[in-house]
Amino acid sequence: MARSALMVILAGMVVAAGGLYVSRKCSFGIGCEVGTAIHPAPVMSARPKNDLRSLAPGATICVNPVQNLSDQTVDIGRMDEQLAGEIAKAGYGVARIGDLSCAATTYTEITHVSQGQRVEAELEFRLVLAAEQAPRFSATAKGESDLGGPQEDAIVAAFADQARKIQIAILAVNERE
């Protein structure tokens, strides 16, 4: 008796799994008829359409709020605006995160700030294209203040290095074409 009940449960699970498999291949009632051929997923080309070439000079880059991951206290107050200013100087439009006109978003973390005669700042950043999740470009940027200069100067210099690296990466990709 227990064996036949187990067989009925197993048969039900197989039918349910088959129904789930077929329903995944249907969208909004299209192609859901019984006997519909299941086509394999399209093969991605080696060179995706939505790459750095889509970021021509003047394209809008959204600025995600800058994060401080260093062991130093950093006044983050105006850092987003300063990063946006450096990206704008490099020839790109700038918008706040969530703006629908953004071709890409930059995510920036301050990773190291050293205090000395000159303040040195290091940051890591990623550039993610619109409608994607994986970064298309990531790098580190460094900046240094003048002798006895404030911490903010070193961080702004690192932002300028970041903007320059974004510009160079995009120009290099566009030149290859």
Domain match, 23 and 59 both: no
Distances (CA, A) of 91 to 56, 116, 142: 9, 33, 20
> Residue 154 maps to which CATH number?
3.40.50.10610
Count the domains in the chain: 2
Q: Is the pLDDT of residue 143 over 50?
A: yes
Angle at CA 81, nearest 5°, toward 80 and 86?
Answer: 100
Domain match, 67 and 136 both: yes
Domain match, 83 and 30 both: no
Domain match, 78 and 164 both: yes
Domain match, 120 and 87 both: yes
Domain match, 90 and 161 both: yes
Domain match, 39 and 56 both: no
30 pLDDT tier (thresholds 50, 70, 90) = very low
Asked if 143 contacts 99 with a C-beta cutoff of 8 angstroms, the reply is no
CB burial of 65-96 (b: ≥16 within 10 Å; e: otherwise) equals: ebbbebeeebeeeebbebbbbbbeebebbbbe
Note the pLDDT of residue 54: 64
Nearest to 59 by CA among 173, 172, 168, 167: 167
- Rounded to the nearest 5 percent, the helix, strand and coil shares of the chain are 35, 25, 40
User: How confident is the model over 68-122, as pLDDT tens digits?
Assistant: 999 988 888 889 999 999 999 999 999 988 777 888 999 999 999 998 899 999 9
Residue 59: partners with Cβ closer than 8 Å, 6 or more residues away:
92, 93, 103, 104
Segments forming the whole domain that contains residue 149: 52-176
d(CA 79, CA 133): 24
Domain match, 92 and 147 both: yes
Domain match, 70 and 28 both: no
Domain match, 128 and 65 both: yes
177 pLDDT tier (thresholds 50, 70, 90) = low
Note the pLDDT of residue 160: 95
Domain match, 99 and 132 both: yes
Domain match, 112 and 27 both: no
The CA radius of gyration of the chain, in Å to the nearest whole number, is: 25
